[in-house]
Amino acid sequence: MQRFVRLLILFAVPLLFVLAVYAQGGPVHAADKTQHRDKLAGLEAEGRDVVVIDGDTIIIDNVVADIAGIDAPELGQQCLHNGSFWDCGMSSAMQLRKYFAMAPFPVQCWPGDQERSSKPGDFPIVECGIGERDVAAAMISDGEALPISGYSHRYDRLSAEADNAEIGIHGGDMIAPADWRDGKRLEGETGRCLFVATADHHYIGTLDPRFGKINQTTNTELCSDEEARTKGYSYAP
């Protein structure tokens, strides 16, 4: 009997370990799926077809949406590391683009929890996965975004781990993205405004492949996706 118990334990421990690893790597699904809106249900695209607007905003299947649960540095935002400024906002956006460009599986998105998103307005909020990889969790683990407080405790834990290891934006000084949008800057920062208004009252960012072909106005620069929405612009269709 004792031998049987020992054998059971011997096989059970590796199994539990594998299950724990799978749970760690799986998507979060933080939102209640009963709250799905029809226009967002079942969004899917090949990774190369997902357009990255900034570190937490994408266009997937012709829908412009924020990635739920994270707040990334704004596109023109700079951070300070070892006495030198670097374009952490652009770095965040490029990392997100890299996830999609190298995706071995289709990107799938579903509605996130609007109330817990801490992002005002009725702009779509989505959680996205590439196979079993949760995109928001990956951005936080890689030090490219901060968690939105209260959205997912797993995100908070991953951010704390990245902070302890001083990964990415945790390795220096940074203004919180929300404060940066309110106009605060690091001393000496020369952050740029990398969104522009178009002649037909839309806006577009410099990472959009259509940027050079869009008819832009010459006097309206926008520092963030959120600022553009607040001023009544919608993203260029």
Which stretch of DSSP H or E encloses residue 29? Answer: none
Distances in Å between the Cα of 125 and the Cα atoms of 154, 193, 218 are 18, 23, 31
The pLDDT of residue 185 is 95
pLDDT beneath 50: ranges in the chain: 1-25, 27-28, 30-38
- 80 with 172: CB under 8 angstroms? yes
The confidence score (pLDDT) of residue 15 equals 34
The whole-angstrom distance between residue 163's C-alpha and the CA centroid of its chain comes to 17
Of residues 59, 125, 56, 152, the one with CA closest to residue 96: 56
Distance separating alpha carbons of residues 62 and 71, to the nearest angstrom:
22
The pLDDT tens digits of the residues spanning 200-233 come to: 889 999 999 888 887 666 668 899 999 999 899 9
**pLDDT at res. 217:** 62
